[in-house]
C-alpha cells in the first residue's frame, strides 16, 4: 500500500509533511536516484499552478534534484498537460507538476510524469516512497535561481492551436472561459483569441489564494450566469491545473465529462477516427452514458477512479478515447493525459462542423439520477475490517440489482469516503445513500 502517493500523486497541506521543504527536496533527490536506476539521464522538467506555495515547493525540488546530480528546467505556470506534452516532446527523463488540482489554495501536490508524458506507475511511486521513508542522505544546499523558460509555454500554445486548423470561421462564436484563477489563465484566453473566437475570460486574475475559490469546474454557477448574460455559445470551466473541462450550454445548463465522452464518441465514430469500439470511463460515470453508447454499438469499459487508470485501460484495449465524469478527457492520439483546453478545442470543432448548439449535441444522453455523498473519516481503514459496513453495502447492492449501482471508495487525495448511488428511482437512491453514509460515519467518521 502506498503511504504518500494517492490516485493523483502526492497531495497535502503545503508546508506540512510530506509537503514540507525537507521532504520535497528529498523527493527531488529520490527521483534522480530512481531515474539513474532505470538507466535514464536525469533531465527533469517542472511546471506549476498559481498557488502561493508553488514557488518555494519548486525551489525545494530544484535543490533536491541538483543535490542528486540532476538537471532541471522550469516551464513556469502552465497546465498539467503542458508538462506531459513537453516532457515527451523534448525527451526529458521525467516531468513534475506542482498542483493540487481542484483543491483549495492551502493544499498543494506533486505529480510525476515519465519520459512518455504518462503519470508514473504505482510501482515507481512505491519505490520513491521507500527511498523517502528510509532516507539517510543530506541535501546539499546552495543558492539556486528558478528562472522559467517562457518558450516552453509558447510551444504548448502552438500545439493547441494546431488542433483546430482548417475549420469554418469562428469569429461569430462567443465562449466564456472560467480559468479558476489557475494554470489556464495565461494560456487558454490567448489560444482561443488567436483562433478567432470572441473570448470572455472570467476568474482569470490569480493572487495565489483564490485558485478554485467559488469558481472553476467544481463551482460553475458563476460561469452559467455569465453565459446567459453574454448570450454566449458555450461556457467552459477548468480546474486549478486545467486538466478538466466542464461545460455550460447556451441555455445556462451545466454538463459534465460524461457528456464529453458521449459527444466525442459519436463524432469520432462517424468520422472513423475511433480506433476501438470501447470507450473507457470510471466507476463514477453514469449508467445513462453506458446505455447511450450501447445504442451506438459501443461499449463503455469502466476502471477505477483516476485518469492514470483510465489511460492504462485505454492502452490495454487499444482505445483512443476515455475520461472521467469529473471532466478529465484523454484523446490518446494527441496527448496521453487529461487536457481541459484540448478538450475544449475538440468540442468547439464538433460545434463548428455540425453547426449545432451544445444543447443539441448532448440531447441523446439521458442520465440516471445519481447521488454522490462524502463522509469525512479519521483513517482510511479497509471497509472489510467492519462487517457492519460490508453488510449494508451488500444489502444496498442487492436492492439495486439490475436497476442501479453503488460505488463506495476512499478519495485518493482527501480523508473522505465517497459514496455514489445511481438508479431509476431518485427517492430510493437518496434513502440508500443515506443508509450507506450513516454506517460509514458510525464506524469510521471523524
- Positions marked active-site: 101
Give me 79's grid cell: 497546465
User: What does 59-82 look like in DSSP terms, one character per residue?
Assistant: HHHHHHHHHTT-EEEEEEE--HHH
Please give the distance of CA 263 from its chain centroid, rounded to a whole number.
19
d(CA 412, CA 103): 12
The H or E element that residue 371 is part of is strand 370-376
Decide if 179 contacts 220 (C-beta within 8 A).
no
Q: Which of 250, 249, 244, 247 is nearest to 236 (CA)?
A: 247
Cα separation, 327 vs 257, in Å, equals: 4
Q: Report the candidate in 302, 329, 334 with the shortest Cα–Cα distance to residue 317.
A: 302
Integer-rounded Cα Rg, in Å, for the chain is 22
Contact call for residues 281 and 307 (beta carbons, < 8 A): no
Residue 278's Cβ-count burial label (10 Å; 0-12, 13-18, 19+) is buried
**Nine cell digits for residue 307:** 485518469
- Spatial distance between the Cα atoms of 178 and 200, rounded to a whole number of angstroms: 9
First to last CA, the chain: 22
Q: Helix, strand, or coil here: 220?
A: coil
Give Cα separations from 294 to 291, 313, 406 (angstroms). 5, 19, 21
- The strand pair at 107-114 and 198-202 is best described as unpaired
Cell output for 302: 469502466
How far is the C-alpha of 96 from the C-alpha of 107, rounded, in Å?
A: 17
Amino acid at each position: 500500500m502506498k503511504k504518500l502517493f494517492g490516485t493523483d500523486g502526492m497531495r497535502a497541506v503545503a508546508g506540512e509533511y510530506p509537503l514540507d521543504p525537507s521532504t520535497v527536496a528529498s523527493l527531488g533527490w529520490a527521483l534522480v536516484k530512481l531515474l539513474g536506476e532505470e538507466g535514464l539521464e536525469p533531465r527533469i522538467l517542472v511546471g506549476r499552478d498559481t498557488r502561493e506555495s508553488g514557488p518555494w515547493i519548486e525551489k525545494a525540488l530544484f535543490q533536491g534534484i541538483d543535490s542528486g546530480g540532476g538537471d532541471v528546467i522550469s516551464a513556469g505556470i502552465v497546465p498539467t498537460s503542458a508538462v506531459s506534452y513537453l516532457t515527451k516532446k523534448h525527451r526529458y527523463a521525467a516531468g513534475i507538476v506542482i498542483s493540487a488540482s481542484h483543491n483549495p489554495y492551502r493544499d498543494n501536490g506533486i505529480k510525476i510524469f515519465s519520459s512518455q508524458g504518462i503519470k508514473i506507475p504505482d510501482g515507481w511511486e512505491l519505490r520513491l516512497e521507500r527511498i523517502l521513508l528510509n532516507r539517510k542522505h543530506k541535501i546539499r544546499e546552495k543558492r539556486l535561481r528558478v528562472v522559467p523558460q517562457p518558450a516552453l509555454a509558447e510551444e504548448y500554445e502552438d500545439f493547441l492551436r494546431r488542433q483546430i486548423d482548417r475549420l469554418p470561421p469562428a469569429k461569430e462564436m462567443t465562449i466564456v472561459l472560467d480559468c479558476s484563477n489557475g494554470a489556464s489563465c495565461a494560456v487558454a484566453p490567448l489560444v482561443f483569441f488567436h483562433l478567432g473566437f470572441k473570448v470572455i475570460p472570467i476568474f482569470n486574475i490569480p493572487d495565489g489564494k483564490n485558485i478554485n475559490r467559488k469558481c472553476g469546474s467544481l463551482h460553475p454557477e458563476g460561469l452559467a450566469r455569465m453565459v446567459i448574460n453574454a448570450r454566449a455559445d458555450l461556457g467552459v470551466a477548468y480546474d486549478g491545473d486545467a486538466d478538466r473541462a466542464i461545460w455550460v450550454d447556451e441555455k445556462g445548463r451545466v454538463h459534465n465529462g460524461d457528456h464529453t465522452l458521449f459527444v466525442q464518441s459519436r463524432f469520432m465514430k462517424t468520422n472513423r477516427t475511433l480506433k476501438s469500439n470501447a470507450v473507457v470511463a470510471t466507476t463514477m460515470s453514469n449508467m445513462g452514458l453506458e446505455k447511450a453508447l450501447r445504442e451506438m454499438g459501443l461499449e463503455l469499459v469502466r476502471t477505477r477512479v483516476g485518469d492514470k487508470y483510465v489511460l492504462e485501460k485505454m492502452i490495454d484495449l487499444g482505445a483512443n478515447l476515455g475520461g472521467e465524469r469529473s471532466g478529465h478527457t484523454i484523446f490518446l492520439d494527441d496527448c496521453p493525459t487529461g487536457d481541459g483546453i484540448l478538450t475544449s478545442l475538440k468540442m468547439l470543432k464538433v460545434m463548428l462542423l455540425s453547426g449545432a448548439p451544445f444543447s443539441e449535441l448532448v440531447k441523446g444522453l439521458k442520465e440516471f439520477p445519481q447521488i454522490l455523498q462524502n463522509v469525512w473519516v479519521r483513517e482510511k481503514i479497509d471497509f472489510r475490517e467492519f462487517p457492519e459496513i460490508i453488510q449494508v453495502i451488500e444489502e444496498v447492492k442487492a436492492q439495486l440489482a439490475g436497476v442501479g449501482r453503488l460505488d463506495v471508495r476512499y478519495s485518493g487525495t482527501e480523508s473522505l469516503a465517497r459514496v455514489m448511488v445511481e438508479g431509476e428511482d431518485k427517492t430510493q437512491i437518496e434513502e440508500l445513500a443515506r443508509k450507506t453514509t450513516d454506517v460509514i460515519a458510525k464506524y469510521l467518521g471523524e
